[in-house]
Amino acid sequence: MEAPAGSMVVYLLLSCFVATSYGVYFSSLNETLIVTATHAKDQALKAGEEQITVTWRFNQTYKAGTDSSYKMVKVKLCYAPISQKDRSWRKTEDRLKKDKTCPHKIVARPYAASNNSFTWTIEKDIPTGVYFVRAYALNAQDQEVAYGQTTNGAKSTNLFNVQAITGRHVSLDIASVCFSAFSVVSLAGFFYMEKRKGKASQQK
């Protein structure tokens, strides 16, 4: 019977080996972090205005020493399956290098086992969609070795909505409409000028 710690070390060594050869696979990571995200209201959060508070800590039910290789934590905003549907540019891939589930960075912090908290104002370039939060623990070689997320394995619970900014401004709207109208009006002017030229040459 091997001691659990021993098998854990072997496993970690193996995953490091795998990581250096092929890149890290998500399925090889353990969910050793507990992550929570709280927000002020239950409706869609407005990008650029509202905030979420993210906390993360090491799950003490795992053997102590499991987190010895964790050096850094990267917290990311991730798409829920419904926001990935028919959008292959947000596809989930097991190989983390190719995975596009979590493109938006919230914060990166040195690893601490507990007492981690960050309040993040949702950035203006976050698109409208349904999201959850995931934190990756990285080792000294900047490779993912563990993770934690606010939702379950099927990514169906505890999701929240974000409403993007439109990017429109009143000045843009006005400029658009004015220039469009100007184009059409100047065309009418052209036709009028052309008719006058025609009449003039007839009189010659």
Partner 1 sequence: MEISQNSDTNYRKFVLPVDSEHKATEFRLFSIATPHMRAFHLSWISFFSCFVSTFAAPPLLPIIRDNLDLTATDIGNAGIAAVSGAVFARVAMGTACDLFGPRLASSSLILLTAPAVYLSAIANSPSAFLMVRFFTGFSLATFVSTQFWMSSMFSPNVVGTANGLSGGWGNLGGGATQLIMPLVYSLIHDNIGSTKFTAWRIAFFIPAFFQTLSAYAIFFLGQDMPDGNYVRLEKSGEKHKDSFSQVFYHAITNYRGWILALTYGYCFGVELTIDNIIAQYFYDRFNVNLHTAGIIAASFGLANLFSRPGGGILSDLVAKRFGMRGRLWTLWVVQMIGGLLCLLLGKIGSLSGSVAVMLVFSVFVQAACGLTFGVVPFVSRRSLGVISGMTGGGGNVGAVLTQVIFFRGSRYSTEEGISLMGVMIMCCTLVILFIYFPQWGGLFCGPKKGVTEEDYYLAEWTAAEKEQGFHKMSIKFSENSRRERGKKGASVPVLSDKDTPPTIV
Which residues are at the interface with partner 1 (CB under 8 A)? 85-89, 98, 124-125, 127-129, 164-169, 172-173, 175-177, 179-181, 183-184, 186-187, 190-191, 194-195, 197-199, 201-202, 204
Q: Do residues 78 and 102 make contact, with C-beta atoms less than 8 angstroms apart?
A: yes
Q: Which amino acid is present at 66?
A: T
Residue 46 CB, shortest distance to partner 1, in Å, is 13
Pick the closer one to partner 1 by CB: 31 or 123: 123
Residue 145 CB, shortest distance to partner 1, in Å, is 25
**Which residue from 113, 109, 102, 104 is spatially nearest to 149, judged by alpha carbons?**
102
**Which residue from 133, 129, 126 is spatially nearest to 151, judged by alpha carbons?**
133
Pick the closer one to partner 1 by CB: 63 or 87: 87
Residue 204 CB, shortest distance to partner 1, in Å, is 7
Which residues fall within 8 angstroms of residue 34, CB to CB, at 6 or more apart? 56, 57, 58, 59, 148
Burial class (CB in 10 A: 0-12, 13-18, 19+), 89: exposed
Pick the closer one to partner 1 by CB: 14 or 178: 178
Strand partners, 137: 73, 146
Residue 175 CB, shortest distance to partner 1, in Å, is 7
Pick the closer one to partner 1 by CB: 27 or 166: 166
Residue 95 CB, shortest distance to partner 1, in Å, is 11
Pick the closer one to partner 1 by CB: 49 or 173: 173
Helix H or strand E segment including 19? helix 4-22
